[in-house]
Amino acid sequence: MLLTHEHEELYRTTKKFVEDELNPHVDEWEAAGIWPAHEILRRMGELGLLGINKPTAYGGLGLDYSYQVVFAQALGNCTCGGVPMGVGVQTDMATPALARFGSDALKQEFLAPAIKGEQVVSIAVSEPGAGSDVSSIKTTARKDGDDYVINGSKMWITNATQADWACMLVNTSDGKPHQNKSLIIVPLNSKGIDRRTKLDKLGMRSSDTAIIFLDDVRVPQRNLIGQEGMGFMYQMLQFQEERLFGTATGIDGLLNLISETIDYTRQRQAFGQSILDNQYVHFRLAELRTEVECVKALLFQTTEEYISGKRSPEQIAMLASMCKLKIGRVSREVTDALMQFWGGQGFMWDNKVARAYRDTRLVSIGGGADEIMLGIIAKMMGILPSKKRASGGA
């Protein structure tokens, strides 16, 4: 992926925003368990950072996805994972399907304010009994007059306590599980919604996460994104940008931690020499840097393939799954190794490595667990057994 002057300017603008507007407040937001989403997103909207690859007709910049990847990489300089995750929901998880398949009226009403940062959004797919197994969701939306009436619950919803609306996956018929789902825009101030149950997480502490309960919630049928029954497919497409965004936000954070660990081990003395002078330590740091750079190279290759249009959606899904799988595993490897080099300091709650150790553990779980990524990759390789064979059938 060739980086232009425009890419570099976007990176610098975003990184400066992170350093000036986010990092000075991260400790406060981590302690509070919430970030001021409306305030921060409005500022980002004013800088044009929330619609980089969205249509100009709705306030976006209309650039290709490589610019979004550069933005996400720069956002990864934030010293916590929760805020970049909250921003990513706004830009790459809750709005791609709306931008691609939504009606003009729907985009004017919901996409344009999201790009401006005037509205905070959530993506509501997971449920108490359906995480990575998206086809198993139980929340229903039945037609009644001009409305959908929605009943069910959504679990682990990022930005939920602050969001103005959610892009929600629901069952709109009793058909086959891959053909009976639809994506609907659900205003979260609607009667019948309860989102007071905030969840206490191991990591991503600055990101507010909640359960959303829906009891006979009425939503206009015009809030349907695209065609009814196509929601599962739309969500699978939406997942690809989420996975690329998540990979990109992980790169700089890991590189920064490696750099800080080099500085720490250089000045920390043990047994008459710096810890860094131990061959195992500097060789291991070299290995870790190599691993991160390999993920970055895979990400850039995947992005280039994605924007070229030369690969099929299935091939892009495989590459995006490889990116997500690898960034999750490398994040765990890096943070675990670095914590060892920091010793007792690394085990302290407020240490940056400790925070990253907690935050990055989610990468291998959220947005499709590692095992789902491996299944997608194996399927594209033609080595995934059919269910009939796997269950012992002939």
* 39 part of the active site: no
pLDDT at residue 212, rounded to an integer: 98
pLDDT of residue 387: 73
Give dist(CA 172, CA 169) in Å, integer. 9
pLDDT for the residue 391: 44
Given this chain, do its domains 122-228 and 232-388 carry the same CATH topology? no
Mean pLDDT in residue range 324-330: 99
User: What pLDDT is recorded for position 388?
Assistant: 60
pLDDT at 108: 99
In this prediction, residue 394 carries a pLDDT of: 35
10 pLDDT tier (thresholds 50, 70, 90): very high
CATH number corresponding to 122-228: 2.40.110.10
State the catalytic residue, choosing from 242, 260, 293, 304: 242
Are 177 and 138 contacting, i.e. CB atoms less than 8 angstroms apart?
A: no
Per-residue tokens: 338: 């670095």
pLDDT band at 386 (very low <50, low <70, confident <90, very high): confident
pLDDT single digits (tens) 195-230: 999 999 999 999 999 999 999 999 999 999 999 999
Give residue limits of the domains in the chain: 5-120, 122-228, 232-388
- 5-120: CATH class: mainly alpha
- Is the model's pLDDT at 390 over the cut of 50? no
Mean per-residue pLDDT of the chain? 97
pLDDT digits (tens, 9 = 90+) for 176-196: 999 999 999 999 999 999 999
What element of type H or E holds 194?
strand 193-194
Domain 232-388 has CATH 1.20.140.10: yes
The pair of three-digit structure tokens given for residue 268, joined into one six-digit string: 């920390």
